[in-house]
């Protein structure tokens, strides 16, 4: 049993960390630290959890306790940087749910995030925690950068293809659609229901911060082809749907491709290969990523979907924590009936 | 002033034909013919039009009158075929809002629509009515096949690019998202709000009937590259959003591309070039198609959006009718303040 | 032909004023005055109106011109007060779309709006502009307080009942549901789509500012019974739906009640009596209010629905302006086909 | 550990029965029986449960096995009648989630349901299972009629008031709003997303089958005043929101009323009293019913909300089963962290 600190857990992802921790048999206790919400009661932030979790007062990050065995850090860009180096110095295990350590090079932070990375030495120490792809580094890691929501949906969709067929690929184009909770809980006119109801729009075209993250990781598994990535805002609160179109140099049989995916994910409990394009609602409120592949002539279309707040954030973070501590990876995030 | 017959106008597109006809100063009267709804009152089908249009009894298609000067045909696939040859024989002008005549070859109907086209000789007589691209054939036509909703959004987005840069294109991938009204008014479990609320899914992947239509038309303006097209269902009633990703052999400056688009659409009242990705709600309930182009390195992303029931159906049909009769193309579908 | 000034027209209601003015044959020109948006282009605030209206620069309210023949004032509570007295002094006709003059007594402003009314003398000079109930005062008025959105839906639903049956009424309870645009365009966390999607809640229970407005007006037509009014927020952008339950001392035949309503609204173009409970979508984007009455035993249930931005704001304001100037009341807001 | 039979569990409520059974530590196994879906695989009906439950073939109701220890019956009106008498004859415990046994008199079935009740003798043997109000009959029952979704929301909201203040009440008016899943999974045009998106409407006004159910039960706790109940359809899939307005003969202090509610529900884990009007999303996907009371002058407004598929159907059914078997009432439907 461990004690967990949550730094910055008062946004949408925070709620799910709390829900998973409640179900988690290896977590004895936890405390929440925040900036603006410090001093508030947890149940004032999350009234829906009344009767579900015990209330507690949110503490100030400025008086952060280092007594917990493990920390989730869920802060805006540029903020995680302020706390993680100290935690690591003290030998405490950490998972960062933000983007401050996902990229490998200091230069990319200047270009895509617009800040000067003050702990660039840690970029090579983190393990990029794409939890559903076999990676023994995760189990041995003390510091995990939890992947972005879009990048999780696209990497899980493309990795088996790239690993097996990279030389056959002419180009890859991913169009991703996200619910509004991906933009966080901040009060912006453009995120009002009055603005978004029945609406949809592309945003950050050719400049979304998840693009270098995806390219960095897909290159590691062998991607050689040009890759493009476009993000859109949906008029719903939850979920991501990604459609990746691959133009091929020659025909590859759909059945053969499907075999490769099934083989790649044979031990991945949270990746569900589908025979039809998945529906977003199948994965909402779960830690699953559902994937379908359709190939015809020289075109392969891979659809993937996940809950941005769970598989794309808190659920994958719990899964990574489970792996770091050597526990069953489903603890807290999936209860399967034993027979 | 003319008299108009609407064959099959009791679905979602029919409502807008009625609304536009009401506003149209050159239409003296109209009558609606249908199958299942014959005998019903128009205002029982469209109660929202009470106080807006005069009521009338829907007549049976089986007793179709040939006394009108012009006909809109808005029937399910395979049904238009039964009426259009006779109308044309009698020298009456017709616009078909369905898909029965959009494709140029009989074989494509066997392959994509699954029926044997019984009036294949008319396929070469129709004019494909993409109303916002300069085409003198439309004005002189007696028979127009009104483009599909997805194809309109993608052709308007890609034609200027292909015309100017076809040799630079490696591949094109279009991901399109449509509201549920595109699937019509039929009672299917999968179209229930209970199923679609907060949901999204790809459908007809690699087998949507609009794919051969788009390829046929883009090939005519010079497309040589591979093209892919994937359709998705959105949890909203109205509108289409298409994102087309073009991988390029070499960098082309965004400003230069934009110039070409502005030039192509200089006289196209209903195409609005945008400096940011358009929002769907800007075009809902209008006959506009809004387009944005973003180019960076060797990637161009073109977003386009329109109302599937108006620019993607009834609005474009009225616009085509206006052109066929030599009227101002905005009659009935746009009232601009003169200064 | 007149010239119109719009003070504060950059919110959701402002858009519809612009759209109606564009269609209005008696308005020669207009200018928009605002606080925060001064200096911006109109089409930057309303990009959807590109190609529909001529652009113009929004002027500062602090440099308000008094050269227009007529003014719409659409400002937050307490702001209209600053401009309307001067306009009236100069003999200019004004319609206030806000709440600053709807109530008749200075005390009610202290109690319900929480401010001290500095032009209380004007409260008795205004005409309360419920446009669909016959009221010759409107036509002769120089200053109209445009009714609130909820009050319009409830007064139109209840006035004929109260006029005819006030002595039979035990109690009236109205439950009203509004889309989020009723709360305006301000960036508040509670109005985010992420918060409201799939959500619903009552708000301002027993303390909504529209309650004294409704009670004041219903008392004028004879209401003697207790009245309650509860407001709710819907997860949609547009529209109001009100259900008013009347408990009766004795049975009154439904048909008889319906007769009274039909008689009351015989000349009211924008009130549509329905034989079934109306659907909100029938009235969205129109100036109609649809009403149904169902009576059984000693209970009468009256449902009414309207578009909060049109019949509940801008549409009714245009209708009132038309009446003030002696024009056809439908100008700009309804084009009916003449036969 | 028991074995459970689910008769007719392939609709929206069935899914949640399966999810709760999966979590339930006292259920060893289960089988599903249906009519139209017989022969299908459970995971073809509920693809979202892949990896969550074990698949099984749905069996035909016509070959119903009587070997289970307990049965949930979830069939359309008039269908439960065919199976429940036999189950009871065999001494097997049953919970009926439908309406066939909720009412106490045969005559009410003729009037409100339009069928002749063929097992009227069982109407007095059933226990009406409003699980959150103390009722020792439930624990000892062999046959429970699970309350309707609307009636649960309104009874929980009104029972403490009526018990304590019935003589002070002039009238009660409840307006209830439900998501579309309450209408079931049948393919009807009026339930299409294209019809309901952004829409809202009252339905079955003065003739909803839940009205006699509510009146019957509220009369049992002392209601003497007139009661009215109006139902509406919301453009969302899940949840019920009820607003009950009580006109009072004299002022009762809000604080005093709240005390009575807190006292009544002191041991009701699934009723959460709120200090502000509850939000629907607080209860979606839970077995909670959240209630707020606001009283001012002679008006009391009680808002209550619940998930129609859980507290309004499957969740309450599990809770009732837990009580029937003498287990902790939270088994399967709530996991609270022990400290």
* Tens-place pLDDT, residues C218-244: 999 999 999 999 999 999 999 999 999
From chain D, the residues in CB contact with B180 under 8 A are: 192-194, 197
- Residue A137's contacts (CB-CB under 8 Å, 6 or more residues apart) are A127
- B135 pLDDT tier (thresholds 50, 70, 90): confident
- CB of A150 within 8 Å of a chain D CB? The answer is no
pLDDT tens column, B86-119: 999 999 999 999 999 999 999 999 999 999 999 9
The pair phi, psi for residue C313, each rounded to 5°, is -160, -95
Q: Which of B196, B151, B178 is nearest to B12 (CA)?
A: B178
Nearest CA in chain A to D290: A48
The pair phi, psi for residue C106, each rounded to 5°, is -55, -35
Is residue B274 scored above 90 in pLDDT? yes
- CB of B124 within 8 Å of a chain A CB? The answer is no
Is residue A182 scored above 80 in pLDDT? yes
Is residue C41 scored above 50 in pLDDT? yes
What's the pLDDT score for residue B339?
A: 41
What's the pLDDT score for residue B165?
A: 98
From chain A, the residues in CB contact with D272 under 8 A are: 50-51
- B338 pLDDT tier (thresholds 50, 70, 90): low
Nearest CA in chain D to B178: D194
Catalytic residue, candidates B149, B156, B158, B218: B149
How far apart CA C66 and CA C52 sit, in angstroms, is 27
ipTM of the complex: 0.96
Chain B: nearest CA to A298, how far in angstroms?
8
Indicate yes or no: CB of B47 within 8 angstroms of CB of C274. yes
From chain A, the residues in CB contact with C285 under 8 A are: none
- By three-state DSSP, how is residue C125 classified? coil
What would be the CATH architecture of the domain defined by B150-307? 2-Layer Sandwich (3.30)
What's the pLDDT score for residue C267?
A: 95
What's the pLDDT score for residue D339?
A: 41
Nearest CA in chain C to A196: C193
Q: Which of C299, A244, C195 is nearest to B173 (CA)?
A: A244
What's the pLDDT score for residue A339?
A: 41
- CB of C178 within 8 Å of a chain A CB? The answer is no
DSSP category for residue D201 = E
Chain D: nearest CA to C249, how far in angstroms?
10
Please state, rounded to an integer, the average pLDDT across all residues of chain C: 96
Nearest CA in chain C to D293: C205
- Residue A44's contacts (CB-CB under 8 Å, 6 or more residues apart) are none
- CB of D170 within 8 Å of a chain B CB? The answer is no
List the single best residue of D212, D299, D305 to mutate versus C (max C Cβ within 10 A): D299
Instruction: Count the Cβ atoms, other than its own, within 10 Å of residue D74.
Output: 27
Indicate yes or no: CB of A205 within 8 angstroms of CB of B280. no
Q: What order do you get walking across the sheet with B143-145 strand by strand? A: B59-60, B27-34, B2-7, B70-73, B93-96, B143-145, B127-128
From chain C, the residues in CB contact with A188 under 8 A are: 187
**Cα–Cα distances in angstroms (integers) from residue B135 to residues B268, B325, D41, D110, in the given order:** 11, 14, 54, 67
Residue indicated by tokens 């937050």: C76
* Subunits adjacent to chain B (3 or more Cβ pairs under 8 Å): A, C, D
What's the pLDDT score for residue A135?
A: 86
Indicate yes or no: CB of C180 within 8 angstroms of CB of A196. no
- What is the percentage of chain A residues whose pLDDT exceeds 70? 99
* Subunits adjacent to chain C (3 or more Cβ pairs under 8 Å): A, B, D
Q: Where are the domains of chain A?
A: 2-125, 150-307
What would be the CATH architecture of the domain defined by D2-125? 3-Layer(aba) Sandwich (3.40)
Nearest CA in chain C to A309: C194
List the single best residue of A310, A337, A339 to mutate versus D (max D Cβ within 10 A): A337
What's the pLDDT score for residue A335?
A: 76
User: E strands within chain C?
Assistant: 2-7, 27-34, 59-60, 70-73, 93-96, 127-128, 143-145, 169-178, 201-203, 227-233, 240-248, 271-274, 289-296, 299-306
List the single best residue of C191, C193, C236, C239 to mutate versus A (max A Cβ within 10 A): C193
From chain C, the residues in CB contact with B283 under 8 A are: 48
From chain C, the residues in CB contact with B286 under 8 A are: 48, 52
How far apart CA C56 and CA C42 sit, in angstroms, is 6
From chain C, the residues in CB contact with D237 under 8 A are: 198
- C135 pLDDT tier (thresholds 50, 70, 90): confident
Indicate yes or no: CB of B187 within 8 angstroms of CB of D189. yes
Indicate whether this model's pTM tops 0.95.
yes
Write the Ramachandran bin of A46: left for phi over 0, alpha for psi from -120 to 50, otherwise beta: beta
From chain A, the residues in CB contact with C238 under 8 A are: 197
Q: Which of D263, D317, D324, D323 is nearest to D293 (CA)?
A: D263
Q: Which of D191, D197, A236 is nearest to B237 (CA)?
A: D197
Indicate yes or no: CB of C247 within 8 angstroms of CB of D205. no
Catalytic residue, candidates C108, C133, C138, C149: C149
What's the pLDDT score for residue B335?
A: 76
Q: Are A308 and A239 in contact (CB under 8 A)?
A: yes
What's the pLDDT score for residue A134?
A: 87
How far apart CA B324 and CA B317 sit, in angstroms, is 10
Partners of B174 in the beta sheet?
Answer: B229, B244
Angle between helices C149-165 and C210-220 (to 10 degrees): 30
Indicate yes or no: CB of C191 within 8 angstroms of CB of A186. no
Is residue A67 scored above 80 in pLDDT? yes
How far apart CA A177 and CA A180 sit, in angstroms, is 10
From chain A, the residues in CB contact with C191 under 8 A are: 187, 192-194
Q: What share of chain B is helix, strand, coil (3-state, %, to 5)?
A: 35, 25, 40
Taking every pair of Cα atoms in chain C, the longest distance, rounded to a whole number of angstroms, is: 61
Q: Are B260 and B164 in contact (CB under 8 A)?
A: yes
The pair phi, psi for residue A337, each rounded to 5°, is -70, 125
- By three-state DSSP, how is residue A299 classified? strand
Strands B299-306 and B289-296: antiparallel
Q: Are D168 and D257 in contact (CB under 8 A)?
A: no
Indicate yes or no: CB of D336 within 8 angstroms of CB of A51. yes
Instruction: Count the Cβ atoms, other than its own, within 10 Å of residue A78.
Output: 17
Indicate yes or no: CB of A237 within 8 angstroms of CB of C189. no
Is residue C337 scored above 80 in pLDDT? no
- CB of B191 within 8 Å of a chain A CB? The answer is no
List the single best residue of C13, C192, C236, C308 to mutate versus A (max A Cβ within 10 A): C192
- CB of B47 within 8 Å of a chain C CB? The answer is yes
Partners of C248 in the beta sheet?
Answer: C169
From chain B, the residues in CB contact with A305 under 8 A are: 200
Q: Which two tokens stand for residue D195?
A: 């019809």
pLDDT tens column, A246-267: 999 999 999 999 999 999 999 9
Chain B: nearest CA to D190, how far in angstroms?
8
The pair phi, psi for residue B313, each rounded to 5°, is -160, -95
Strands A299-306 and A240-248: antiparallel
pLDDT tens column, B172-190: 999 999 999 999 998 999 9
* Active-site residue list of A: 149
Partners of C202 in the beta sheet?
Answer: C232
Mean of the pLDDT values across residues A59-75?
A: 96
Q: Which two tokens stand for residue D138?
A: 């439930």
Indicate yes or no: CB of A170 within 8 angstroms of CB of B245. no
What's the pLDDT score for residue B336?
A: 61
Distance, CA of B9 to chain centre? 15
Q: Are D117 and D99 in contact (CB under 8 A)?
A: no
* Subunits adjacent to chain A (3 or more Cβ pairs under 8 Å): B, C, D
**Cα–Cα distances in angstroms (integers) from residue C174 to residues C155, D172, D245, in the given order:** 11, 12, 9
Q: Which two tokens stand for residue C13?
A: 């209601």
Q: Which of B286, B303, B302 is nearest to B241 (CA)?
A: B303
List the single best residue of B17, B22, B46, B52 to mutate versus C (max C Cβ within 10 A): B52
- CB of B285 within 8 Å of a chain C CB? The answer is yes
pLDDT tens column, C195-207: 999 999 999 999 9
How far apart CA B269 and CA B314 sit, in angstroms, is 17
Nearest CA in chain D to B234: D193
What's the pLDDT score for residue B9?
A: 85
Indicate yes or no: CB of C202 within 8 angstroms of CB of D238. no
List the single best residue of A47, A132, A238 to mutate versus D (max D Cβ within 10 A): A47
How far apart CA C213 and CA C155 sit, in angstroms, is 10
Q: Is A163 exposed, middle or buried (0-12, 13-18, 19+ CB in 10 A)?
A: middle
pLDDT tens column, C292-313: 999 999 999 999 999 999 999 9
Q: Which candidate from A47, A269, A339 shows the least CB-CB separation from D54? A: A339
DSSP category for residue D147 = P
Residue indicated by tokens 């998840």: A210
pLDDT in tens, chain D (339 residues): 999 999 998 999 999 999 999 999 999 999 999 999 999 999 999 999 999 999 999 999 999 999 999 999 999 999 999 999 999 999 999 999 999 999 999 999 999 999 999 999 999 999 999 999 988 899 999 999 999 999 999 999 999 999 999 999 999 999 999 999 999 998 999 999 999 999 999 999 999 999 999 999 999 999 999 999 999 999 999 999 999 999 999 999 999 999 999 999 999 999 999 999 999 999 999 999 999 999 999 999 999 999 999 999 999 999 999 999 999 999 999 976 554
Mean of the pLDDT values across residues B145-157?
A: 98
**Cα–Cα distances in angstroms (integers) from residue D239 to residues B189, B200, C234, D309, in the given order:** 20, 20, 13, 8
Nearest CA in chain A to C187: A189
What's the pLDDT score for residue D335?
A: 77
- C336 pLDDT tier (thresholds 50, 70, 90): low
- CB of A245 within 8 Å of a chain B CB? The answer is yes
- By three-state DSSP, how is residue D271 classified? strand
DSSP string, C133-166: S--HHHHH-SEEEPPPHHHHHHHHHHHHHHHHHG
Angle between helices B315-324 and B12-23 (to 10 degrees): 50
- By three-state DSSP, how is residue C218 classified? helix
- What is the percentage of chain C residues whose pLDDT exceeds 70? 99
Instruction: Count the Cβ atoms, other than its own, within 10 Å of residue C195.
Output: 25
Indicate yes or no: CB of B296 within 8 angstroms of CB of A247. no
DSSP category for residue C336 = P
DSSP category for residue A100 = T
pLDDT tens column, B40-60: 999 999 999 999 999 999 999
Catalytic residue, candidates D27, D122, D131, D149: D149
- CB of A35 within 8 Å of a chain B CB? The answer is no
* Exposure class string for A236-260: b at 16+ Cβ within 10 A, else e: bbbbbbbbbbbbbeeebeeeebbeb
């Amino acid at each position: 049993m461990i004690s967990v600190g949550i730094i910055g857990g008062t946004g949408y992802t925070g709620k799910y960390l709390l829900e998973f921790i409640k179900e988690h048999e290896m977590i004895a206790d936890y405390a929440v630290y925040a900036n603006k919400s410090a001093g508030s009661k947890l149940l004032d932030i999350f009234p829906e959890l009344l009767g579900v979790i015990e209330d507690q007062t949110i503490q100030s990050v400025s008086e952060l306790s280092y007594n917990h065995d493990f920390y989730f850090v869920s802060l805006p860009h540029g903020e995680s940087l302020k706390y993680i180096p100290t935690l690591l110095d003290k030998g405490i295990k950490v998972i960062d749910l933000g983007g401050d350590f996902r990229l490998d090079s200091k230069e990319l932070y200047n270009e895509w995030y617009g800040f000067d990375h003050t702990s660039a030495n840690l970029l090579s120490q983190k393990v990029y925690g794409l939890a559903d792809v076999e990676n023994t580094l995760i189990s041995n890691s003390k510091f995990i950068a939890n992947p972005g929501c879009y990048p999780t949906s696209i990497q899980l969709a493309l990795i088996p293809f790239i690993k097996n067929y990279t030389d056959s690929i002419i180009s890859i184009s991913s169009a991703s659609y996200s619910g509004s909770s991906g933009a966080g809980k901040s009060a912006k006119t453009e995120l009002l229901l009055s603005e978004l109801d029945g609406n949809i729009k592309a945003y950050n075209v050719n400049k979304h911060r998840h693009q270098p993250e995806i390219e960095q990781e897909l290159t590691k598994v062998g991607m050689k082809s040009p890759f493009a990535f476009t993000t859109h805002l949906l008029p719903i609160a939850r979920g991501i749907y990604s459609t990746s179109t691959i133009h091929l140099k020659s025909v590859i049989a759909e059945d053969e491709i499907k075999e490769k995916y099934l083989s790649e994910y044979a031990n991945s409990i949270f990746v569900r290969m589908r025979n039809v394009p998945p529906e977003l609602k199948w994965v909402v409120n779960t830690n699953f990523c559902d994937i379908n592949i359709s190939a015809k002539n020289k075109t392969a279309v891979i659809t993937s979907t996940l809950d941005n707040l769970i598989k794309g954030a808190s659920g994958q973070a719990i899964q990574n924590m489970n792996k770091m501590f050597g526990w069953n990876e489903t603890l807290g995030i999936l209860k399967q009936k034993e027979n």
